[in-house]
Chains A and B, each alone.
Chain A
Amino acid sequence: MTDWTIEGLAAAIRAGKISPVEATRDCLARIDRLDGGLRAFITVDHAGALETARRLEAEQGRGAWRGPLHGVPLAFKDLCFIRGLPTSCGTRTAEYFLAEGDCTVVARLAAAGAVTLGKLNMSELAMGPFGDNAHHGHARNPWRTGHCPGGSSSGSAVAVAAGLALGAVGSDTGGSIRLPAAACGIVGLKPTYGRVSRAGAMPLSWSNDHVGPMARTVRDCALLLQVMAGPDALDATASPAPVPDYVAALDGRVAGLRVGVVENYFFQGIDAEMEAGVRRAADVIAQLGARVSELQVPDPRTMSDVTNIVSRSEASTIHARLLRERPHELQPVVRARLELGMHIPAYDYLQALRLRARLTRGFIAQVFAEVDVLVAPVIPEPAPPLAHATLGPVHELVARQGRFSRLTRPFNGLGLPALSVPCGFSSTGLPLAFQIVGRPFDEATVLRLGDAYQHATDWHLQRQPLS
């Protein structure tokens, strides 16, 4: 099971080579064996998963297929509301977040045949790029368990990387899908703002939140996105834009594609092995026939600051009651970040939203006149030791968080699709990664390039030495 992809498992189930119950039992057994050390899950739903798998198996016996994910075990970040299961949002409170209905993406994936294994660990309130969580136990990087898994969708990345689940859902407000995907050596997609409904997923920042898929291969992310994407009456920000066939778009044709390697900001001060890994990935892309060039983009620091102002303001508004009534329950760094948001005047918040509109318009017009996609690093260095995320004065920890997420946050403000793809390993055995960023609603091109890269390389096939 640890070598299955979603596509491969779905095909094997359809061919009768493995049953949904067998696949689910295998994942649950692996969770039981390994998750005590990895801490990927907050809630494992043994009974519910097996009940769903048995029902799917019975339907299969009658020739009834729910969809492309029939019998595929998945897991969800613990900010997705799922009826019958607690939702902690990574907080100390067992059921902090309550929604009126199931999370839209979970419902869509279940309708396509997915089995829900449980709810995944995350940074408290989805605030934190390292994936540490003092309440539920720090999720561990499967490649080196003394190192951070990245966050905030830490459990999502760990579960997929360690083969506990075939795929997962994460959310990304400043990099929270791409950072853990990069740190753990899997693929993570932050779709275009509005491409995937956020209904039933705990908000952190309405203006910057994105829900997206995480899996071992780009192809599997395309499969998941196909099911997740589209308009939703429950989320006014979900775009009515038509959903293309993302899997059909993975035709390997990247010859002539204009790829810009971003030279300003993204390589400044980053780890030498990370830089070398990303530049080697660009070389591979060039060998595939793409027209790779170096490119300067409008200063990402401006958009990063604007995004930060908006996120801090909205997060503090959303969690004002928790901050007011139970501040002692919050980790000091999370509390400090929320408190800062309380001090941002409405004037600055609204000017930031207006600036964002202007900056986005300018970025799209300037950059995509020259190239079709961008390539850049995702994380400035391989996953740091857990102590880097947990030890030190609060202001220093906040500063470290800002530095670790500085390469992802600009694309949240810009709302552009961004895909993290593994591209090697450091000398210490930790994953390297790059991100591919595309035009708004052009996930198809981003995925096509990522898939072509994975066909030419085998980084995504490497497995960590877990028993």
Chain B
Amino acid sequence: MDESGPQQAEEAALLGVIERMAGDLALAEEPARFIAALEAGRPSGGDDPE
């Protein structure tokens, strides 16, 4: 069975999120800000070594 049809549909569905969501990304937004978000989200105080 030819699988190219379902694959193209899956690809289109997957990439739809970029079309919907990426249009208003700030110019300053960059991939490395993901790590910054994790570091900034660390609990304060209780995470120091014993």
Contact = CB atoms under 8 A, between A and B. Distances in A.
User: Considering residues B35, B37, B50, which has the most beta carbons from chain A within 10 angstroms of its beta carbon?
Assistant: B37
Contact of B31 (A193, A348, A350, A364): A350
A356 B34 contact: yes
B14 A354 contact: no
Contacts of B43: 439, 441-442, 445
A361 B25 CA distance: 13
Interface in A420-464: 439-442, 444-445
Contacts of B22: 351, 354-355
A357 B30 contact: yes
Interface residues of B, number: 35
A355 B25 contact: yes
Contacts of A234: none
Nearest to A394: B3
A194 B35 contact: yes
Contacts of B18: 309, 347-348, 351-352, 355
Contacts of A242: 47-49
Interface in B29-44: 29-43
Interface string A345-375: 0011011111111101100100010000000
A353 B14 CA distance: 14
Interface in A201-260: 207, 237, 239, 241-245, 248
Contact-residue size bin, chain A (C-beta under 8 Å from the other chain) = 35 or more
A267 B47 CA distance: 32
Given A357-B37, A358-B25, A439-B41, A336 B7 contact: yes
A351 B15 CA distance: 10
B31 A354 contact: yes
Nearest to A415: B38
B42 A353 contact: no
Interface string A316-345: 000000000000000000001001100110
Interface in B5-20: 6-7, 10-11, 14-18
Interface stretch (A63-71, A87-95, A143-151, A300-308): A300-308
A403 B46 CA distance: 37
A312 B17 CA distance: 15
Contact of A344 (B1, B11, B31, B42): B11
A241 B42 contact: yes
A135 interface: no
A357 B6 contact: no
A439 B39 CA distance: 10
Contacts of B41: 364, 368, 439-441
Contacts of B48: 242, 244
Contacts of A239: 38-39
Interface of B: 1, 3, 6-7, 10-11, 14-18, 21-22, 25-26, 29-43, 46-50
11 contacts: A193-B35, A245-B49, A344-B11, A352-B18, A354-B29, A355-B17, A360-B38, A394-B6, A398-B6, A439-B41, A440-B41
Given A357-B37, A440-B38, 6 more contacts: A207-B31, A248-B50, A336-B3, A344-B14, A344-B15, A441-B38
